[in-house]
Chains A and B, each alone.
Chain A
Amino acid sequence: MTKLTYIANDGTQFDVEAENGSTVMENAIRNAVPGIEAECGGACACATCHVYVDEAWTAEVGEPEAMEEDMLDFAYEVRPNSRLSCQIKVRDALDGLVVRVPERQG
C-alpha cells in the first residue's frame, strides 16, 4: 500500500493507504475527503477533482498530458502545480505524496 496525504481547504489532514494502480481521485472519494467532487467519475471530463500537488512532489508526479491540460482550463484557480487527481495513478514512487484541495471546484 502507498501512503497519500490530502490536505483539505480548511487544513484538515487525511492520511490514507492507497492501492497502486488506483487514482488519487478514487482514494479521495473512498475516504470522503471534502472538496473533491469528481462529477464525471474519473473520465478527465469535468475538472472537479482538481488538486495542488505539494511542491516537493511535482517532479515525481510529473506534468499533465495534453487532454488533462485542456481540462485544467476549466478548473478554479489553476496554478503551476495543479493536476486533476483522476489522472494521477498511485505507484510505489508516490509513497508519502501530499496534495492540497483548492478552495472550490469551479
Chain B
Amino acid sequence: MTDTIKTDVLIVGAGPIGLFAVFELGLFDMKCHLIDILDRPGGQCAELYPEKPIYDIPGWPLITAQGLVDKLLEQIHPFKPDFTFNRMVSSLEKLEDGSFRVTTDEGEIFEAKVVVIAAGGGSFQPKRPPIPGIEAYEGKSVFYSVRRMEEFRGHDLVIVGGGDSALDWTLNLQPIAKSVTLVHRRPEFRAAPDSVNKMYAMQEMKELEFLVGQVSGLAGADGQLSSATIKGGPDGDVEVPCTRMLPFFGLTMKLGPIAEWGLNLHENLIPVDTEKFQTSVPGIFAVGDINWYPGKLKLILSGFHEVALMAQAAKRIVSPGERIVFQYTTSSTSLQKKLGVHD
C-alpha cells in the first residue's frame, strides 16, 4: 500500500543517542531515517524530563534535557535526516542482498543497509491501570488512544485520568458520545487550566459527569463493557454506564517487537561488542541505554562514544571496499563542507 522508503541507515529511536548517530554517520556520508513512537524527537529527555538539568554532558556544566535535544537537532541539521514519528517498528527481515526490511505498526516499509537500535528503555507504551480484568476488554471497548473518533459515537464513555489527554478527549468526544464520565483520583488536574474550566462548566450544565475516585471494577461480556464501578469518591461506590473506556495513565517503556527480531538478549537489553557496538546479527547495531556490554553505564555521554565507533563499522557495510579516512572536524575541510561551514 505504501512505497518502500530506502535509506542507508534506519535508526530506531530519536532520543539523544539516535540523534547524535545521525551526526557521526553523516560525517561518513550515510543518509539516516529515524523512527520513533513519540510525536517528536528527544526520547526520554523530551517525554520524561524536558525541564530537568543534566550536569554530565562534556562541555556543558548545565543543560536542560530539552536544551540538549534542541542543540543536537541543530548539530545534525546539515545532514537532513528524515523522521517518522508516532510509529513503532514491528517486524524485521533480512533480504538477499544483506540489507534489512523493517515494517512499522502502521504498515510503512523501510529498507536499509544498516539498522541502528537506539531505543533507550524501549518504546513508550500506555500504562495499564490497576483495574482487575481490564485485559479482556482491551482493543474492543477499552482503548489507550483515540485513532478514530467514530469508534466512540453513541457510546457511554468513561475517561480516566487528569492530564491533557484525558481532558482534551473529554471535551472533544462529549458532542458525539451518548454520555461522558470523567474519573480522576483528585479534583486537581495537570491539564491546561482552560480545558479544566471548560470541563467544570460542562459539568455545571449536566453535559458530562466528573467523579473523584478510581475505577475499581468493570462489568461486561465478550470484551464488551457495560458498566464501571468507581470507588473512593464522597458517595462511596458508584456504578456508571460504560461501553467505551479511555484510560490515560501515562506511558511506560517496553522493549516491544524488537524482542522478536532474533537478536541475542540479556535481561531485555541487547548485548553488543565494544569495538563496533554490533548485535548478534551483523548489520544491526545497538547503542545507548538499550545495549549491554561488560562495564556498561547508562549515560548519554557513553552513548555518544558508542555511535562514533558504530559509524566506522556501519560505513564498511554501507560502502564496502571504500577506504575509511579518520579525520577531525576541527581541521578537515571535507568534513567542514559536509557541516556547511563557510570560511
Contacts and interface: CB of A to CB of B under 8 A. Distances in A.
A70 interface: yes
B130 A76 contact: yes
Interface string B181-192: 000111010100
Given A40-B48, A73-B190, A47 B250 contact: yes
A43 interface: yes
Interface string A58-72: 000000001001100
Interface string B167-190: 000000000000000001110101
B253 A74 contact: no
Interface size range of chain B in the complex: 20 to 34
Contact of A78 (B185, B188, B250): B185
Contact of B48 (A45, A77, A106): A45
Contacts of B214: 78
Contacts of A40: 44, 48-49
A95 B43 CA distance: 38
Contact of B49 (A43, A47, A66): A43
B127 A74 contact: yes
Interface in B101-129: 121, 127
A39 interface: yes
B127 A106 contact: yes
B332 to A, nearest CB: 37
Contacts of A74: 127, 249-250
B52 A69 contact: no
Contacts of B163: 73
Given A40-B48, A43-B49, A106-B249, A73 B130 contact: no
Contact of B252 (A69, A78, A106): A106
B162 interface: yes
Interface string B213-240: 0100000000000000000000000000
A33 interface: no
A46 interface: yes
27 contacts: A39-B48, A39-B121, A39-B253, A40-B44, A40-B48, A43-B49, A43-B52, A45-B49, A45-B52, A46-B48, A48-B252, A66-B188, A69-B188, A70-B162, A73-B161, A73-B162, A73-B184, A73-B185, A73-B186, A74-B127, A74-B249, A74-B250, A76-B130, A77-B130, A78-B214, A106-B249, A106-B250
Interface of B: 44, 48-49, 52, 121, 127, 130, 161-163, 184-186, 188, 190, 214, 249-250, 252-253
